[in-house]
Structure 1
Amino acid sequence: MDKIKSILENNNNDYEISRLLYSFIDTKAKDSNFTIKNNKHYNSAIKYLIKYFEYITIENFSMDIYLSIIEKISKNKSRDIKAILNKILPILLEYIVDNTNNKLSPNINELFEYKDTLKNYCNNFLIGTPSIRKSIALEIYSSKGDKEIRRLLDGFICKEFTAPTNLNFDTVKGVEEYLYTLKGLVNLIGSYKITDITWRNYCNLIQKVYFSVTFCNIKSSNRGKFKSLLPELFKYIINNTKFNDLKNIQELNKFQDYLYVQERTKPSSNSNYDQFIFQEVYTNFPISSSPSQLHLFEYSYKSKGNIVNSSTLVNLNTDNIFIKKILIEFINTFDKTQKSTATRIENRLFIYYFDESLGSLSKNMNCIENLTFETFKKQFQFYDNKDSQFSFSNVKMIDVLKKFYIFLLSYIETNKYNHKIFINTAINVKVLSSSNFNTMFKEGFKFIIHSPFEIPPSEDKLCIVENKSSNARATKLNSIRLDFSEIYDLNFRNDLKIFLWNKNYNYIGSMYSDFYIIKDFLNLKYEYDIQNSNITPIVRTNETFSEDFMLTYMCSIVSNYNKSKTISNTFSPVKSFVNYYKDKYKFNTLLNDYLICKQTKPSGSDGGMSIDDFNKIAEEFKKDKNTTKNGELLFIILYLCTKTKLRIGDILSLRRNCIVYIDKRNYYGTIEHYTKTEEEKVETQIPLECIESIQRAINLTEDYAKNAINKEHSKYIFITPSTYQINLDKYTIHSLSSYFYRKFYEVLNSLNLEKKYRIYDIRHMRKNEIIKAASKADKDIHEILDMIGGTIQTNLNNYINSKDIEFYVEVFTGTVISNVNVNGEVTLNQNTSLSTNVLGSCKQSACNHNDYQNTDLLKKYPFYKCLQCKDFVTTPEKIYIFEHYIEEIKTFKKNTLNYEESTICEILLQLLGVFYQKQLFMLNRNKEV
């Protein structure tokens, strides 16, 4: 110590500095815990330390000088001495500020305040650039912020220097970049006061850090650490300030998690977002927001095979408690497995403007009952105007509005609120989901449910919504658009409205087709009258529809359509309409002949799809069966098409509770379902393997149905999630209908088959194969119809091969004639009778059967007994008369409720059928000859 004292005396050291240095060295020499003194380079290090303090007085011993000493130490060529000095200096600093006699010195007070930070500067000075570290300390020292901010910055820097993870750099360059970042951070916050630590300032800083080109002169390559340091600094300030009772600090403390949300990446160059949209809507940190107006939405998505957890802040832009609550409920239905749902600009814009869209109504918006049809109309108009202002996406804000009200309808139902948003209208989930809703709503269409028991609406623009009480098949229309203003003549317009309204439609799709067919008919009449206004008819009549016009209409339809079935379907509603108003229009019923399509006789079917072609198609479906869930479901649908008599629409509309009975012993089961032609459910027996396939499909889609957001579709079996999910646990589901159709035609294109098939050809093929097998097995018509499904007439027109004449006659008459015998005959001789009737002749000179015609029905068909008489004779030329009476009696039988009349009709049809069969046999033999 004497040697040390001698050095101090001979050096140009201030007395107070010399005293403190000597006292420090002496004290540490006696301290057994001060192990540095045992280092062989210790004495050399002390000499350097004394030298570095030369010419320094206690008055000018400042932070700047202290940092200069650190810089000198860093330049020492001896690594060992440098290491010792870096350990001694911070201890010496603390000793000086604690033991000096000149504690009133401003510099000493400054050093005392920042001694912890300065100690760490020295402790971690072995690598890095000393001037950078020095400038950080000076940045704090010279900052214009209040004392609290400087203290907190000092503490934060100290924490950062002592955090091992922050100092674990592989290169000197890494440390330097880190220090430059700290310097920028201090430079940025150093001018703040504690009251400036607010959410809005934080948002402003975040946006600058991420998107400002010249922000704090920090290179873009160095901003990564800055982005992570900024939330850490704010968190440190919030948790360590003495002024934690300040409103701005309390607000930030409540929403600390928001600080760590990563800002969104810069939007693409073609997004065309203006500054307002970018700073208030697109960003996670809206500059004008408060954290209480934001909602944190967390989601996960796949990226390069990995699950990425992320989050976004959505700007609710309102302080209304109820509006915030209902918007958050809506946001939480967003897809949590896709990156884009909560970040899509149309969703964020919709939510941002929601409060404003309500106008003055928002002030009193405090419960679900405040959301009504009137608010929907007000918001629709508002968002439609906003959509005209912005063009960022193909999806519009009014589309999001519809999704919001769809959510509301579900929310009201789930929570059992006694509130109807769309009261006195027929708007529901399906209507809001329809693609043409926006157009119809803008054009002022009224959404109603058709009821023939109510007065027709006065409005001309109507959207007729399917009644929920109908069978509501999955493949049916949910609503139709009827614009009566498209009918030129006002009187015709009202007449058609009354006609359609008073007709009882089981399916609104039929009303839709009737409307457009009759509309064209009436508009043609309007144009016809204008074109012929200057022509004076030879014979004046008061008929609305003249024979010339009816002929004109018939020619226009026949020329436009080449299929007799299409022509017949077009004529049918027009015929109903003109006969409904036959008195008002003075309609001559003879003109109905112009509305009858002369169809050719059924020529039989070629069997639809060939078995070979079907097997090829089935093989393609089978390839996907074991690879995807949808692949297996589509295969099951195809399987049911071939193994049951159900139509494709019936299959796609099967409900999850359709299985009502299973008889494993007899290998069959019973299902209940809706059909194309029935309003109520019907029961159908199907093979046990089909029951098992349906059960398999139910199991495959159980998760979809259970977690479906749109519960309306969850009752069906053949469903699939949308291409995007509502969130991790919930699905938006759709019918597999479009998927099946698309798959079917994709397979057809890939196979390049000779024939162009439709899905319905599978049903055609199945019926034809069953009919062939049943005919060989001597099945009667009723057994066959039970196997193939459908009515006699439908199968006769579309499916049955009529080469088997007896089978064809049974199908045509709807009766079994195989066990019916008659004694009359069919002959080619035209001169066999002395007495005749409309169907044939009698071999006797007089006929006494008229004595037995004791009922009105028998008087109408006086040949009842003649057909059973051995003297009755007819010819093949009379076949068209037999056809006429068969059709007429079939219709009468269908409409009568009288058991006796029905029985007589059945006998008549059997008798007529037997002679009709003989006529066909004779005509065929003549053709062969």
Structure 2
Amino acid sequence: MKKDLSVERDFYKKIVRVTKLIVNDCQLNAALLEFIDTEFLANEFMELRSIDRRVGWIFLIINLKNKSINDLDWGLICNLHNVNLNEEFYRDVEGLGIVKENINSCYYSIGGRTGWESLYDLLNRFYLYLVYNIKYNNSNNIMQIKDYQHLLIETRNSYTPRLNGDKKYNEIYKTILNNFPLNSKKEHITQVEYKTINGTKKINFNTNTVNKFIKSLLIEFLSTFTKADDITRKDLRILLYYFVESMHKEIPQKYEEFNENIFKIQYRFYKNLGKELKEYQVLCSDRRLKELLVAFYRYLTRMVKEKYGLDIFTLRFIQVINLKSFYKFYENGFQFVYHNKLEVPPIGYKFCILPSIQTLNNSNSDNDKLMTVNLELINGRYKEDVKEFIWYADGYTRNLVGYLYKLEEFLEMKVTYDELNNNVVKIFSNSREEFEDDFILEYRSQIELDCTTNGHLKGTLKIIRKFLKYYKKKYNVCKRVLDILNLKGLGKFEGGKPIKDKDCISIYEEFEKLEGQIYNGRLYTIVFEIFLCSNLRIGEILNLKYDCLDRDTSTIKYFSKIGKGKLVKKKINKQIIILLEEAIDLTKPHAKGNDLVSKYIFTEPYCAIHKTNKRIDFYDYFKSIVENIKEKLEIKDYTPYNIRHTFINNVFNEGIKNGLSLLKMAAITGNSYKTCRIHYLDRNAVELYVETLAKVTITDVDILGNILIHDENKYSKVVKGELGKCNKEHCVFDMAECFLCNHFFTFINRIPAFEKRILSINTEIENSSNQIQIEELITEKKLVAKYLSEMIKLSQEKGRNN
């Protein structure tokens, strides 16, 4: 359908006529007519303009009718970008001698908004037309347009003034939330270009300051926002506008003048402003301004360190400001402290212990995390004591803090108990004892019901016992009370849970598969390989630093779990060296920006405002792999600790095949054979342990005697060096070979004695040169080993049943 271009010609004539009629300043009138001719005649009326474009022309003429060409400056264009166009339209459109029905129809359907945008565009184009026209660019105000012509950008306002909206909202919109802020100076404005799906766009920010240092710093901060959704945020504009005002006249003129006090002043300012703007519905959340301020200080501390080598803040402040949970603790009145037993504890009852060199000198994989102590809920009579206990008690502070809630429950129960028994007269009570038997017995009964595992119960009792021992004199804690809280029977273990061979292959294949799908996937595979092929614990691996490796001596230095905070050296094989070197090559490029973890090998980039890299989370990664392939696995609930079980189990399996001694295998694993049996070796592979200990095979050995759970007194005849008893008065064997007799009885409490006898036989064999004696000793050892194997199985069965 052919466009009726006559409408365009008619509109041009009407606009020219109206301009001549209502624009009073002769020079501006002439300039506008020339501009109209340029815009309309350039395409020889080959294009039909839209209705909203026509509305834009009408707005332009209306708003310039009482202006002169000398009025055209930055202030005027900002005013016109913020004029209440609705009022202007209804007041002035009646005087126009044009057909306004079509315009009204368009205006009502689009709310006039696109007409406004046409006005903004025409204003910008008119200013640029003037500055490049020699007839007009000789006046100061027109010449100055060159200084800010880059700011005359296309505008598609994200925030529209509300027609009947709150005055505060519209004030914020006009002075801050648009590209031409009301009452601003051109020197206040900085422009940022950002990428969009369709290319690039520009946005103007009102910094509301002519302070060159602050403005340049804010411009650098803006450059860190690369996404369109971030750079166009309302709260970012608001932060910059109030930045200088938020300092309360303590305005730095150089980096070194920034300090923690200025941050506190600004934080309070933006906290209050955020609440106010939320009430006016300018912001959806009162947290955003505070978050952006913290982001600025995180940027500032990092930038001046990297760019200028300056430490303008204390290490403590830098750590605090970079905490992910900063807002939670800062606003709730927590103090941030370093733990030092040579100093007094914090004054208050809420504090966070920051990671430091002291807390990092161990093999715990959580040693770079915050420790939070909140004693507010503890009864007043115990608050100071608990604080002192946490601060000064021996042992690993993180464990104390981790079980602090159990100590809190214990003391709360004590206060409740005292209140309920306030009027009870106790005949045999020792009033000097703070914690009496009756309460301790009641507490022990309660936690045995509450704790679902022996490990949980043991951890709870350990911190209570530690607390009571610490204040043994003050609370007059007697041995009887500690006996009630004894740990007897809670430390029993039934061996480890090595990963089955087929399961191990499936897990490793999943690690390799994810290398091609997940960034840094190879790094996690390296940790798995080192863990599986060495006796290093997972915490020891994750705490390896870039300077840990000495290639010349094939050793590493690291913090061992049992090293008491001191570095130890260990020989490693060539394969581990290759893996560590590969890990270093992978992570070295991003090893910066976070002083706490930048020295460690196993880190990865972290895209967050508060830090740029972090320690890898091998625990979650491994658990997700097991979850992904659990349908393939024989055992569905492996944890990273089972990898260590697997290594140690493999050492003993291969050691037996190659005739290695128990001592040599223990040296390879880094643990005594007893520790391996209790914690790591396959709980179902009893024969493996016994055969390793005895250096014989027992699959072809049968025993005729009896093994009982309890030592029965009716068998009074002790035989074989108290290894067992006999139910016959006279021996039926001429040579008293009790292990071959069906009248021999032994008991599971003799397990240590049988282990000792095997070691004794091993020594006798080594020291003997008599072949006949050696053969007899080997025969006896096989029988003893078989008995020991069956005794351990029976003991494990008893433990499971209990």
Deviation of the 1:449 alpha carbon: 0.9
CA 1:809–1:323 in structure 2 vs 1: closer, same or farther (change >3 Å)? farther
- The aligned counterpart of 1:278 is 173
Runs of at least 5 residues in structure 1 that lack an aligned partner in the other structure: 1-124, 664-668, 820-826, 842-874, 887-914
* Residues 1:809 and 1:527: Cα distance change in structure 2 (over 3 Å): farther
The separation in 2 between residues aligned to 1:372 and 1:878, in whole angstroms, is: 69
Distance 1:794-1:332 versus aligned 2 partners, 3 A rule: farther
Q: What is the CA-CA distance between 1:817 and the residue it aligns to? A: 9.0
- SS of corresponding position for 1:340: helix
Match of 2:231, SS state, is coil
1:571 and 2:458 are equivalent in the alignment? no
Partner residue of 2:378?
487
Question: Match of 1:387?
Answer: 274
Matches of 2:548 and 2:10, distance apart in 1: 81
* Aligned equivalent of 2:331: 442
Find the aligned partners of 2:413 and 2:263 in 1 and give their Cα distance: 40
Give matches, 1:878-917, under 5 Å. Answer: 879=749
**C-alpha distance in 1, partners of 2:640/2:402?**
23
Identify if the C-alpha distance between structure 1 residues 451 and 251 changes in structure 2 by more than 3 Å, giving closer, same or farther: farther
In 1: Cα distance, 2:390 partner to 2:429 partner: 31
Query: Match of 1:501?
Result: 391
Question: Is the CA contact 1:331–1:342 (under 8 Å) kept in the aligned structure 2?
Answer: yes
Q: Secondary structure at the match of 1:233?
A: helix
Aligned-pair CA distance for 1:451 = 0.8
Question: CA 1:310–1:484 in structure 2 vs 1: closer, same or farther (change >3 Å)?
Answer: same
2:299 paired with 1:410: no
SS in 1 for 2:550: strand
Instruction: Describe the shift of the 1:250–1:683 C-alpha distance in structure 2 as closer, same or farther (beyond 3 A).
Output: farther
Structure 2 match to 1:582: 472
Match of 1:769 in 2: 650
C-alpha separation in 2, matches of 1:557 and 1:237: 85
Whether 1:528 aligns to 2:403 is no
Matched residue, 2:72 = 197
Matched-pair contact (CA < 8 Å) for 1:839–1:878: no
The equivalences for 1:152-167 within 5 A come to 152-157=31-36, 159-160=38-39, 167=43
Q: Which whole-Å CA distance do the structure 2 matches of 1:655 and 1:449 have between them?
A: 22
Match status 1:346 vs 2:235: yes
Q: How far apart in 2 are the matches of 1:329 and 1:320?
A: 14
Alpha-carbon separation, structure 1, partners of 2:83 and 2:626: 54
How far apart, CA to CA, are the structure 2 residues paired with 1:743 and 1:627?
14
* Residue aligned with 1:234, SS: helix
Instruction: Label 1:781 to 1:340 Cα distance change in 2 as closer, same or farther (>3 A).
Output: farther
**Post-superposition offset of 1:488:** 0.6
Give the 5 Å matches for 1:355-754. Answer: 355-359=244-248, 361-362=249-250, 364-389=251-276, 390=278, 391-393=283-285, 396-414=288-306, 421=313, 426-429=316-319, 431-471=320-360, 475-490=366-381, 492-504=382-394, 508-541=397-430, 542-599=432-489, 604-605=494-495, 607-661=497-551, 670-675=555-560, 678=563, 679-705=565-591, 709-710=593-594, 712-722=596-606, 732-737=612-617, 740=621, 743-744=624-625, 746-748=627-629
| TM-superposition CA deviations, 1:111-157 (whole Å, max 9, x none) | xxxxxxxxxxxxxx998744333334434433434333234334434
Q: Percent identity?
A: 24
* Secondary structure class of the residue paired with 2:216: helix
Match of 1:892 in 2: none
Letter in 1 for 2:193: E
**Do the aligned residues in 2 keep the contact of 1:144 with 1:190 (CA within 8 Å)?**
yes
Residues in 2 aligned to 1:831 and 1:299: alpha-carbon distance in whole angstroms:
93
Residue of structure 1 equivalent to 2:193:
298
Deviations 1:501-550 (A, max 9, x none): 223555x4223125333333233222222222222222231222222222
- What is aligned with 2:183? 288
Residue 127 of structure 1 contacts residue 172 of structure 1 at CA under 8 Å; is this kept in 2? no
- Specify the code of the residue in structure 2 equivalent to 1:733: N
- Tell me the residue number matched to 2:127: 234
Residue 586 (structure 1) shift: 2.0
TM-score (norm 1): 0.65
Work out whether residues 345 and 393 of structure 1, in 8 Å CA contact, stay in contact via their aligned partners in 2. no
Q: For the residues of structure 1 that align with 2:10 and 2:685, how far apart are their CA atoms? A: 108
Distance 1:381 1:920 in 2: 74
| Structure 2 match to 1:146 | 25
Contact 2:496 2:682 survives alignment (8 Å): yes
Secondary structure of residue in 2 paired with 1:592: helix
Is the 1:296–1:311 contact (alpha carbons within 8 Å) kept by the matching residues of 2? yes
Does the Cα contact within 8 Å between 1:148 and 1:194 map onto a contact in 2?
yes
Distance 1:762 1:916, change over 3 A: same
Shift of 1:250: 5.8
In structure 2, the CA distance between the partners of 1:806 and 1:205, relative to structure 1 (3 Å rule), is same
Q: Deviations over 1:360-405 (max 9, x none)?
A: x34x543334433322322232222233331514853222222222
Moved more, 292-301 or 218-227: 218-227
Look up the SS of the partner of 1:380 in the other structure: helix
Contact 1:210 1:263 in 2 (8 A): no
Q: Which blocks of at least 5 consecutive residues in structure 2 are unaligned?
A: 94-102, 697-706, 726-744, 757-779, 795-802
The aligned amino acid for 1:173 is L
CA distance in 2, matches of 1:741, 1:926: 36
Letter matched to residue 732 of structure 1 = T
TM-score between the two structures when normalised by the length of structure 2: 0.74
Q: More displaced, 512-521 or 785-794?
A: 785-794
User: CA–CA distance in 2 between the matches of 1:525 and 1:245?
Assistant: 89
Q: Distance in 2 between matches of 1:480 and 1:545?
A: 29
Give the whole-Å Cα distance in 2 for the aligned partners of 1:210 and 1:620: 63
Letter in 2 for 1:784: M
Secondary structure of the structure 1 residue equivalent to 2:294: helix
Cα 1:721–1:295 change in 2 (3 A) is: farther
Does the 8 A contact of 2:121 with 2:155 survive in 1?
no
The verdict on how the C-alpha distance between 1:560 and 1:367 changes in structure 2, with shifts beyond 3 A counting, is same
More deviation, 449-458/234-243: 234-243
Quote the offset at 1:588 in angstroms: 1.4
By how many angstroms is 1:408 displaced? 2.8
In structure 2, relative to structure 1, the CA distance for the partners of 1:916 and 1:517 (3 Å cut) is: farther
Is 1:135 matched up with 2:30?
no
**Counterpart residue type for residue 756 of structure 1:** D
Partner Cα separation in structure 1 for residue 144 and residue 751 of structure 2 = 94
1:447 CA drift (Å): 1.4
Q: Which amino acid letter does the alignment assign opposite residue 302 of structure 2?
A: S
Q: 1:503 to 1:189 in 2, by over 3 A?
A: same
Deviations 1:168-219 (A, max 9, x none): 88x5525999788667645544542234323243234445699999698586
- Aligned-partner Cα distance in 2 for 1:601–1:176: 84
CA drift at 1:928 = 10
Distance in 2, Cα, partners of 1:422 & 1:695: 34
CA contact (8 A) 2:235 2:289 kept: yes
| SS of residue paired to 2:130 | helix
Q: Does the 8 Å CA contact 2:246/2:270 hold for their aligned counterparts?
A: yes
Q: CA deviation at 1:453?
A: 0.8
- Deviation, structure 1 residue 584: 2.2
**8 A contact 2:371–2:398 mirrored in 1:** yes
- Report the Cα distance in structure 1 between the residues aligned to 2:560 and 2:572, rounded to whole angstroms: 15
TM-fit CA distance, 1:832:
6.7
Sort the Cα spacing of 1:719 and 1:603 in 2 relative to 1 into closer, same or farther, 3 A. Answer: closer
Partner of 2:766: none
Distance 2:342 2:267 in 1: 32
Opposite residue 286 of structure 1, the aligned amino acid is: P
Cα displacement string for residues 620-651 of structure 1 (whole angstroms, at most 9, x for unaligned residues):
33333234533444444444443343444444
